């Protein structure tokens, strides 16, 4: 339920009230949790085409699914204020994953087993195309328990009303389960015996666990003797996700269907680091155990969906287009007081199509095709040489709300800097070698949400190093100069990109939307979201540039940019 960052602090405030000591990542403004605020009139940071409600707090995406050709998204929401508290399941629907209609709250505290909160969970489509939701509730003893909700009227394609069977809760923390770390049920799947399976995130003494349950009827659940998977020294596993991917195709797969040429993915949100990490491996259907592949590790140094602000993610199988779609929550980089002033906090990333890379070693992510419907006024450049120190503005685009793709080629790699063996942390390396630090092959890339004169800029760029007989590509998102304000989180993010610049160009796509720069490197092999709040580079005063701050020439083989229309969101 993403109690971490800001979700976790909500649980912390609950537990502290019952005399339990819990570490929180930052302060909780409990006196403001039910504060009714109004949306400020000056809103330079509200997004134009990313998902967000009209006002107030939003965090985890919950229960995404498609039902009767309608996409459904539920999410953690505070109806009364712009900070965490009073959490319910809000609900919106769409026919294209871009334009949305908001509905009345779908699930809110109403029974003993959720009276202290309705936390995160997932949707499963049962036999006969019947949706069911499993979600975490806080019971009168403040234990975390799992509840079931069902549609009241299956003929209502918008599924606007949900009921809770009297059997609730359907899973409780017994037999040694940590009652304060037992949450976020996944989408369920069927095993060889026809029984449903689901995993719940948990931890015991910093050992992260995916606790496995089985059921014949989706109501009576029995805990398995062993977890699906566990790992030491990782801390709490929040918002787990478990799904199949094809080895030889980019199409998505229903997790309940079994067959050859598949791998399985286990993703967990690590509460201690605020990272969504995943492994690729094999699922033993008979033993109900998941085994990561060699080299696919569970901790924060393993694979991540996104190397910037991205947490509590959730996937679903889009049966209408045979694809797996990934949602993620993006929290703010300013203060709670700032959020209260502007009247809202949190947005969701653009939904991403997700599949297994041809190497089988990582996933690839790419913005859904439908987002292109918002493109207008295209700008194209072809074969432009970027000399050392050059900065060129991309004109005739709405730079505060733009989709831009570039392809960069290096005429020579002979002068690539040597890779130091100690450079194992890409984020630290990007912090030390930001956009203003000249190198040989790099930094080169984009300057987004930049002011005239470049006092403000968010730089997304590459550097290339030589490591013995191979080349290493570093992708960075440098926020250190993103705003004149000093009281913001300006973390610089980084990732190593698994591409070979000797045989292929370096591609970069950035979706820029007022206060977010969502970037995809190497055709989706590495993703980085930056959350920025410029003071000068807002609305019509925002600019977009390409730059090369290295000592060697770089060829901009292609640039395509589109101003983006606003998504239609009905509140």
In this structure, the answer to whether residues 353 and 385 fall within a common structural domain is no
Spacing of C-alpha 106 from chain mean position? 22
CATH number at residue 191: 2.115.10.20
DSSP sequence for 484-536: S-SSS----EEEEE---TTTS-EEEEEEEESSEEEEEETTTTEEEEEE---SS
| Final residue of a structural domain among 367, 393, 408 | 367
2 in a structural domain: no
Q: Which residues contact 150 (CB under 8 A, 6 or more apart)?
A: 130, 131, 132, 133, 162, 163, 164, 165
In this structure, the answer to whether residues 360 and 381 fall within a common structural domain is no
In this structure, the answer to whether residues 274 and 356 fall within a common structural domain is yes
Give the pLDDT score at 524: 98
Give the pLDDT score at 30: 39
In this structure, the answer to whether residues 20 and 103 fall within a common structural domain is yes
79: domain range? 7-367
Q: How many domains does the chain have?
A: 2
In this structure, the answer to whether residues 454 and 325 fall within a common structural domain is no
Give the pLDDT score at 31: 40
**Greatest distance between any 2 Cα atoms in the chain:** 70
Q: Is the distance from CB of 132 to CB of 123 less than 8 angstroms?
A: yes
CATH number at residue 537: 2.60.120.560
516 in a structural domain: yes
Per-residue pLDDT reduced to its tens digit, 416-430: 999 999 999 999 999
| Final residue of a structural domain among 367, 397, 414 | 367
In this structure, the answer to whether residues 354 and 411 fall within a common structural domain is no
Give the pLDDT score at 306: 98
Give the pLDDT score at 469: 87
Taking the C-alpha atoms of residue 210 and residue 213, their distance in angstroms, rounded to an integer, is 10
Closest alpha carbon to 82 in 332, 345, 287: 345
Q: Is the distance from CB of 212 to CB of 194 less than 8 angstroms?
A: no
In this structure, the answer to whether residues 359 and 411 fall within a common structural domain is no
Phi, psi (rounded to 5 degrees) for 432 = -80, -30
Taking the C-alpha atoms of residue 409 and residue 364, their distance in angstroms, rounded to an integer, is 21
Q: What is the sign of the dihedral through the CA atoms of 314, 317, 320 and 325? A: positive
Taking the C-alpha atoms of residue 181 and residue 201, their distance in angstroms, rounded to an integer, is 7
Spacing of C-alpha 133 from chain mean position? 21
Give the pLDDT score at 555: 97
Q: Which of 60, 139, 241, 298 is catalytic?
A: 60
358 in a structural domain: yes
1 in a structural domain: no
In this structure, the answer to whether residues 425 and 300 fall within a common structural domain is no
Catalytic site includes residue 60:
yes
Give the pLDDT score at 39: 55
570 in a structural domain: no
231 in a structural domain: yes
82 in a structural domain: yes
In this structure, the answer to whether residues 354 and 383 fall within a common structural domain is no
In this structure, the answer to whether residues 352 and 476 fall within a common structural domain is no
Give the pLDDT score at 9: 34
In this structure, the answer to whether residues 445 and 545 fall within a common structural domain is yes
| Final residue of a structural domain among 310, 339, 367 | 367
439 in a structural domain: yes
In this structure, the answer to whether residues 253 and 299 fall within a common structural domain is yes
Q: In the structure encoding, which two tokens stand for residue 557, read together?
A: 């083989």
Residue 29, beta-bridge partner list? none
Residue 145, beta-bridge partner list? 137
Q: What is the sign of the dihedral through the CA atoms of 28, 29, 35 and 41? A: negative
Low-confidence ranges of the chain (pLDDT < 70): 1-40
């Amino acid at each position: 339920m993403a109690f971490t960052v800001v979700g976790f602090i909500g649980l912390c405030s609950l537990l502290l009230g019952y005399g339990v000591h819990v570490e929180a990542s930052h302060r909780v403004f409990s006196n403001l949790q039910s504060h009714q605020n109004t949306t400020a009139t000056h809103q330079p940071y509200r997004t134009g085409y990313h998902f967000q409600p009209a006002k107030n707090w939003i965090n985890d995406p919950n229960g995404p699914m498609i039902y009767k050709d309608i996409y459904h998204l539920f999410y953690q929401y505070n109806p009364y204020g712009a900070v965490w508290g009073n959490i319910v399941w809000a609900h919106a629907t769409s026919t294209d994953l871009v334009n949305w209609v908001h509905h009345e709250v779908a699930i809110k505290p109403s029974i003993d087993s959720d009276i202290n909160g309705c936390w995160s969970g997932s949707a499963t489509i049962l036999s006969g195309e019947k949706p069911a939701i499993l979600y975490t509730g806080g019971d009168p003893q403040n234990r975390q328990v799992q509840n079931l909700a069902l549609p009241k009227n299956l003929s209502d394609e918008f599924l606007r009303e949900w009921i809770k069977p009297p059997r609730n809760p359907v899973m409780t923390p017994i037999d040694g389960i940590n009652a304060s770390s037992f949450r976020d049920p996944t989408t369920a799947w069927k095993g060889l015996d026809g029984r449903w399976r689901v995993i719940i995130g948990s931890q015991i003494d910093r050992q992260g666990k995916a606790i496995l349950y089985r059921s014949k009827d989706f109501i009576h659940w029995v805990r398995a003797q062993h977890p699906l998977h566990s790992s030491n020294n990782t801390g709490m596993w929040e918002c787990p996700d478990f799904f199949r991917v094809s080895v030889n195709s980019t199409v998505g797969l229903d997790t309940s269907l079994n067959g050859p040429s598949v791998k399985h993915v286990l993703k967990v949100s690590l509460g201690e680091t605020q990272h969504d990490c995943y492994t690729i491996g094999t699922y033993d259907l008979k033993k109900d155990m998941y085994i990561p592949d060699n080299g696919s590790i569970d901790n924060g140094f393993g694979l991540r969906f996104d190397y910037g602000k991205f947490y509590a993610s959730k996937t679903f199988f889009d049966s209408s287009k045979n694809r797996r779609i990934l949602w993620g929550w993006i929290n703010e980089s300013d203060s709670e007081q700032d959020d209260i002033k502007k009247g809202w906090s949190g947005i969701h990333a653009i939904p991403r199509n997700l599949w297994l890379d041809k190497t089988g070693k990582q996933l690839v992510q790419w913005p859904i095709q439908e987002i292109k419907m918002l493109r207008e006024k295209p700008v194209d450049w072809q074969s432009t040489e970027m000399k050392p120190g050059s900065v060129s503005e991309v004109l005739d685009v709405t730079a505060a709300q733009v989709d831009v793709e570039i392809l960069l080629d290096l005429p020579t790699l002979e002068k690539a800097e040597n890779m130091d063996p100690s450079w194992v942390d890409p984020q630290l390396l990007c912090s030390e070698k930001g956009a203003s630090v000249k190198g040989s092959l790099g930094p080169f890339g984009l300057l987004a949400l930049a002011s005239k004169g470049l006092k403000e800029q968010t730089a997304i760029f590459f550097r290339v190093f030589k490591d013995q007989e191979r080349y290493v590509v570093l992708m960075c998102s440098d926020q250190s100069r993103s705003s004149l304000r000093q009281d913001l989180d300006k973390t610089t993010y980084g990732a190593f990109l698994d591409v070979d610049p000797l045989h292929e160009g370096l591609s970069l796509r950035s979706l820029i939307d007022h206060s977010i720069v969502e970037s995809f490197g190497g055709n989706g092999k590495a993703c980085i979201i930056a959350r920025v709040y410029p003071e000068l580079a807002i609305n019509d005063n925002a600019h977009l540039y390409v730059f090369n701050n290295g000592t060697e020439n770089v060829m901009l083989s292609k640039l395509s940019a589109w101003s983006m229309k606003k998504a239609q969101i009905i509140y």
